Amino acid sequence: MNSNKVIYGLYDDDDKLLHATKKLVSRGFTVNEVYSPFPVHGLDTAMGLRYSRMAITSFIYGVIGAFLITLLMWYIMIEDWPMVIGGKPNFSYGQNLPAFIPVTFEATVFCAAHLMVITFLFRCGLYPGRGVFAGSKKYNPDPRTTDDKFLMEICDVDTKKIQKIEIIMKETGAVEIQIGDYKVKKRKKIISIKQYLKNNLSGIFKFLPKKKK
Amino acid sequence: MHYKSPMREPLILGNKDLHDITVDIARPIETKANRWWWALFTISFAAMLWLFGCIFYLIGTGVGVWGLNNSVGWAWDITNFVWWVGIGHAGTLISAVLLLFRQKWRLSINRSSEAMTIFAVVQAGLFPLIHMGRIWMAYWIFPLPNQFGSLWVNFNSPLLWDVFAISTYFSVSLVFWYMGLIPDFAMIRDRAINPIAKKVYTFLSFGWSGRAKHWQRHEVISLVLAGLATPLVLSVHSIVSMDFATSVVAGWHTTIFPPYFVAGAIFGGFAMCQTLLLIARKVLDLQDYITIKHMEYMNIIILVTGSIVGCAYLTELFIAWYSGVELEQYAFLDRATGSYWWAYAIMMTCNVISPQLMWFKKLRRNILFTFILALFVHIGMWFERFVIIITLHRGPLPSSWHDYSPTYIEIGTFIGTCGFFLVLFLLYARTFPVIAQAELKTIVKSSSTKYNKNLHYLDKEELVKLNKINKKK
């Protein structure tokens, strides 16, 4: 989070933006962020973003939901009060299973959908009222990007590199270029999962007594 | 750019670029409502107040103020419930099923149809509550630990499944709708001049910034929610249908109900979409986005689902005859020739015969015809539920045969829910972006008159004519 030079290139066309991103990435620059009014298809792969794991979380939440509701219905209907209601068999969960399917299904969908959305909001740092008192700078460097403009943000310290980036941006059709020293969170470089685990998990095991040689 | 078949009609007319879309969609929010809006709002608001009056009277006095009797314990209440839930289904179908099928024409209608879903489910949700004899004990349907030795609910009842189905359906639809709204609220926020409006839309937009990673995640969750909402929409109305199908009443106990109710729900829901959008596109001046082609696509779905419903009616009749069960045969004979034959006749005419007119291209591209047909479908689908429910009046025991007629409280409740629905929809139309502009902007290059000059599906004269028609109506 050190005070970087940040270069902003404003584009008015998604194809130009995509082309510029590919060009800059192929020259070895990291496109830190792109603000766009709609999802530009292929931009995430061009920027080198990792695939989103939202779908995986949803699956896990769904499984949890199905398990919990099964546990609840088994406890209520079979274990706690095994009452005979309308002659339905209640000796085991399996005997009365067909009647439990609809609720199991709904609970699975409920958990899968809602918990995934909460995860999405959490991971993107979105919450009701964000930026109400902080002003627009808090969330977006240029308000035109929700209308029809596309803003590319590149962080770099080196002035020479900044000039190179500026030239490429101009070549690829940027309508406005601004250089400033805003405090911008730099996007982490993509690392392999193996490396990620190595970096992050090694800390967890620190509490274990070290083996003496 | 990708290849686009020249056969396809453009979905955005009138040479719109990205900024034009923003301006057009923000206009209803940034301008003041006209006289028509206020007139309609006043009428709907009055109807809504009437609804609340009816409900207070009902709860204060008892369910006996309705025209129900010992044989017909369910009538207008459940009819209206199923009708409203059914209307909601088209919204989810448009936003979820058509998303899975990558139908681009859904983009300019999905926001409004989802709003329609939400508001229709609100109306539907009233009925299971108010038709209870003791509404103040409604919370007993939840399996909450309690002081009665933890007395639980019974998970065998379809009415309990309904609680789970409707609450899941409502909340998931709401979240799905809201996630789509976030980028659009951000657009309104960034345009807002009025400081209060700016604060409100900043609050509503959750601080959306349109970052690449956020968009990537947003697209994934939209797709997953669509994948979850699709089986949800099929299950919810199936569960509603099981209120009848799992009973032992002849005429109700049929295995065809779950798919047939779902088809009917989509049929009725699309008709409501037509009714609302045909007015909205005119009043909000969105004819360039909600075009005749959109109307035609929806009419085709009405035709398909109407045919499925018709097929189900005939299947029911065939099976009743084929079963050899006198009770069931009589149930259907009574429907066709009994004291409610007129309801059955209205249902058959409106649901089976009238949608077949959609085979004619001239008719399904005609706005006035579409509007009238949609009204027919509303009536037909209401009577379908009524016909099914009123089967109760001729049960297995002739000594408990009773006819039923509604009181003005029941009628007032139904009209009141229409008013409440319209109040919500009218407020929505002036404060929310009625078209999912962020998504619509993705097809500007592939499917608009501005960027697709070489469309051969029509010659130039026809295109000009089409533009004119779209502008005029």
| Residue A65 CB partners (closer than 8 Å, separation 6+) | A107, A108, A109, A110, A111, A112, A115
pLDDT tens, position by position, A143-192: 888 888 898 888 876 777 888 888 888 888 888 888 876 666 666 666 66
Residue of chain A nearest B24, judged by CA positions: A147
Q: What is the pTM of this model?
A: 0.88
Query: B210 and A124: CB-CB below 8 Å?
Result: no
pLDDT tens, position by position, A201-213: 666 655 666 666 5
Q: Are strands A176-180 and A150-156 parallel, antiparallel or unpaired?
A: unpaired
Candidates A80, A109, A148; nearest CB to B168: A109
ipTM reported for the complex, 2 dp: 0.89
Query: A130 and B155: CB-CB below 8 Å?
Result: no
Domain boundaries in chain A? Answer: 1-187
Mutate to test the interface with B, among A17, A124, A184, A190 (most CBs of B within 10 A): A124
pLDDT value of position A1: 40
Angle, to 10 degrees, between the axis of helix B212-245 and the axis of helix B76-92?
150
Asked if A209 is an interface residue toward chain B (Cβ–Cβ < 8 A), one would say no
The alpha carbon of residue B185 is apart from the nearest alpha carbon of chain A, in Å, by: 10
pLDDT tens, position by position, B362-408: 888 888 999 999 999 999 999 999 999 988 898 889 998 988 989 99
Asked if A107 is an interface residue toward chain B (Cβ–Cβ < 8 A), one would say yes
Alpha helices in B137-256 (DSSP H): 158-191, 195-204, 212-245
Candidates A38, A73, A99; nearest CB to B442: A38
Residue, of A5 and B204, whose pLDDT is higher? B204
Candidates A121, A131, A147; nearest CB to B202: A131
Distance CA(B334)–CA(B456), nearest Å, equals 55
Distance of CA A213 to the CA centre of its chain: 43
- A positions 61-80 inside 8 Å of B (CB): 72-73, 76-77, 80
List CB contacts (< 8 A) between B219 and chain A.
Answer: 39
Owner of token pair 């065939």: B318
Asked if A44 is an interface residue toward chain B (Cβ–Cβ < 8 A), one would say yes
Asked if A18 is an interface residue toward chain B (Cβ–Cβ < 8 A), one would say no
List CB contacts (< 8 A) between B186 and chain A.
Answer: 140, 146
pLDDT string in tens for chain B (473-residue length):
456 666 777 788 877 888 888 888 888 888 888 888 899 999 999 999 999 999 999 999 999 999 898 889 898 999 999 999 999 888 888 888 888 898 888 888 989 989 999 999 999 999 999 999 899 999 999 999 999 988 999 999 999 999 999 999 999 999 999 999 999 999 998 888 888 888 888 889 888 888 888 999 999 999 999 999 999 999 999 999 999 999 998 889 999 999 999 999 999 999 999 999 998 888 888 888 898 889 999 999 999 999 999 999 999 999 999 998 999 999 999 999 989 999 999 999 999 999 999 999 888 888 899 999 999 999 999 999 999 998 889 888 999 898 898 999 999 999 999 999 999 999 999 999 999 888 888 888 777 777 766 555 555 666 666 666 666 65
List CB contacts (< 8 A) between A47 and chain B.
Answer: 212
Distance of CA B3 to the CA centre of its chain: 34
CB pairs under 8 A between A and B: 197
Residue A35 β-bridge partners: A151, B211
| CB neighbour class for B245 (10 Å; exposed up to 12, middle 13-18, buried from 19) | buried
Detail the DSSP E strand segments found in A43-199: 150-156, 176-180
Provide the percentage of residues in chain B whose pLDDT is more than 90.
56
Distance CA(B173)–CA(B176), nearest Å, equals 5
pLDDT tens, position by position, A17-42: 888 888 888 888 888 888 999 888 88
Q: Are A150 and A11 in contact (CB under 8 A)?
A: yes
Closest CA to B387 of B348, B344, B339, B346: B344
Residue A155: phi, psi to the nearest 5?
-100, 135
- B positions 409-438 inside 8 Å of A (CB): 438
Closest CA to B212 of A143, A144, A148, A150: A150
List CB contacts (< 8 A) between A51 and chain B.
Answer: 216
The alpha carbon of residue B221 is apart from the nearest alpha carbon of chain A, in Å, by: 6
